Amino acid sequence: MKVFLTGATGFLGRFVAKALASQGHELFCLVRDQKKAQRVLGEMATLVLGSLEDKNSYREALSVCDAVVHVAGLVKARSRDEFFKINAEATKSLVEQTRDGKRFIYISSIAAQGPSPRKEERPEDLVEMPLTCYGKSKLEGEKAVLRHAQRLNVSILRPPIIYGPFDEEFSKVFVVAQKLGILPCINRNQVISMIYVEDCAMAIALLVNKDKTPRTVYLCDDGKMHTWEEVAKCLETVLQRRVRLVPTPRLLAVLGAGAWELWGKIFSTPVVMSTDKVKEALADYWVAGNTRLQKDLGFVPRTSLLDGFKKTVEWLREEGRL
């Protein structure tokens, strides 16, 4: 199958590219930086130089593909408008350019649906209530895709926290834990879902290989519900040092996030930590689950939290970051 892939040089995208190529799919990857793409992807893909904002740059390559896997998106931005420009408007443009009858897989986020009301998988009929600009922009991207569900074979995947080698965000947790021996958290009672990057890529590959799915929206995780105390214990094991869970008072978290936001505005730099993100950190349950994905596609995660942390630490040490 010929697959048009966006975000192939990013954290998740590079693993998706590897998973699809290993299954014999022919990849056409939309990339901005040719040198970086050649370094990351090697010979496994045909490079399509361009960007999501410029539909003329990818229209021809898109037309010859049987399926689209849209991984690219912003997880941090300088403004609300920037989030929506890429995560919603560019997604809308891409799906509009996709020809009838094609397979379209959109990688959204658990942030698009909002937190769960209880310590269990979120009911399918519950109305989405994203808390952040990021989550709202991903939900708008979902809506743009769903408007074409009558003419395209659409599936949407909402992963929770993804971690592993080549990640530039959650990997900071390992660095802080190694250097300071602490794991800061705002809500120590929070229950979260997580997934190792290779398992998430495997879930996406399963969706690509399925012509149609019984449902439109799927979630995935490693099959467990985690607490920050458990995360701290896993960090202790893989780093072989004491790691203390340090609750951050809400007021201090808001002030600190506000300072980061101000810094980002002054230097025109996107930052992950913001007052918006504090809302997500305060929610009690961010539970994904994988029951539907397992039932419909046979998805079974292979990597436990401890094993995934070990692999991440190995990479960080190889990179000289630990």
Domain around 91 = 2-167+194-221+287-302
Q: What percent of the chain has pLDDT over 70?
A: 92
What would the pLDDT profile of 21-58 be if each residue is shown by its tens digit? 999 999 999 999 999 999 999 999 999 999 999 999 99
Q: With H, G, I as helix, E, B as strand and everything else as coil, classify residue 225.
A: coil
pLDDT tens digits along 69-89: 999 998 887 888 999 999 999
**What are the Cα distances from residue 248, in Å, to 181, 184, 256, 277?**
15, 6, 10, 14
Sign of torsion over alpha carbons 136, 137, 138, 144: positive
Q: Residues 212-217: contacts with CB within 8 Å, 24+ apart?
A: 212/153, 213/155, 213/296, 213/297, 214/296, 215/124, 215/292, 215/296, 216/146, 216/149, 216/154, 216/155, 216/156, 217/124, 217/142, 217/155, 217/156, 217/158
Q: Which residue in the block uniquely carries the two structure tokens 């990339």? A: 31
As a whole-number percent, the residues of the chain with pLDDT over 90 amount to 78
In a domain, 141, yes or no: yes
Q: pLDDT digits over 123-165, tens only?
A: 777 889 999 999 999 999 999 999 999 999 999 999 999 999 9
User: The pTM is what?
Assistant: 0.94
Mean pLDDT of all residues in 168-175: 92
Task: For residue 281, name the pLDDT band (cuts at 50, 70, 90).
Answer: confident
Q: What is the full DSSP assignment across 51-62? A: BTTBGGGTHHHH
Q: Do 4 and 65 form a contact (C-beta atoms < 8 A)?
A: yes
225: nearest Cα among 173, 284, 182: 284
In this structure, what CATH number is given to the domain that contains residue 150? 3.40.50.720
Question: Is residue 227 in some structural domain?
Answer: no
Task: Please give the Cα distance from 300 to 277 (Å, whole number).
Answer: 30
- Is 263's pLDDT higher than 60? no
274 vs 272: CA distance, rounded Å: 6
Any alpha helices (H) in 23-85, and if so which ranges? 34-41, 59-63, 80-84
* Averaged pLDDT, 288-300: 95
pLDDT at 278: 78
**Number of residues in the chain:** 322
Which pLDDT value is given to residue 273? 64
Integer Cα distance of 8 and 94 in angstroms? 16
Q: Is residue 258 part of a domain?
A: no
Residue 244 in any domain: the answer is: no
210 in a structural domain = yes
Look at residue 252 and tell me whether its pLDDT is greater than 80: no
Q: Which residues of 49-72 are buried (b: 16+ CB within 10 A; e: fewer)?
A: ebebeeeebbeebbeebebbbbbb
Name the band, by pLDDT with cuts 50, 70 and 90, for residue 108: very high
Q: Which of 165, 166, 134, 155 is nearest to 203 (CA)?
A: 155
Lowest-pLDDT choice from 9-18, 260-269, 287-296: 260-269
- Unique residue bearing structure tokens 């990021």: 134
Q: Is the pLDDT of residue 257 over 80?
A: no
Average per-residue pLDDT in the chain? 92
Count of C-beta atoms within a 10 Å radius of residue 142: 24
Contact 151, 101 (CB under 8 A): yes
As for how many domains the chain has, the answer is: 1
Q: How confident is the model at residue 310 (pLDDT cuts 50, 70, 90)?
A: very high
Grade residue 264 by pLDDT with cuts at 50, 70 and 90.
low
pLDDT-derived band at 212, boundaries 50, 70, 90: confident
Is 281 inside any structural domain? no
Six token digits for residue 90:
């560019």
Give the model's confidence band at 172: pLDDT under 50 very low, under 70 low, under 90 confident, else very high: very high
The answer to whether position 52 is within a domain reads yes
Q: Is position 109 within any domain?
A: yes
* Cα distance between the two ends of the chain: 40
Taking the C-alpha atoms of residue 100 and residue 95, their distance in angstroms, rounded to an integer, is 10
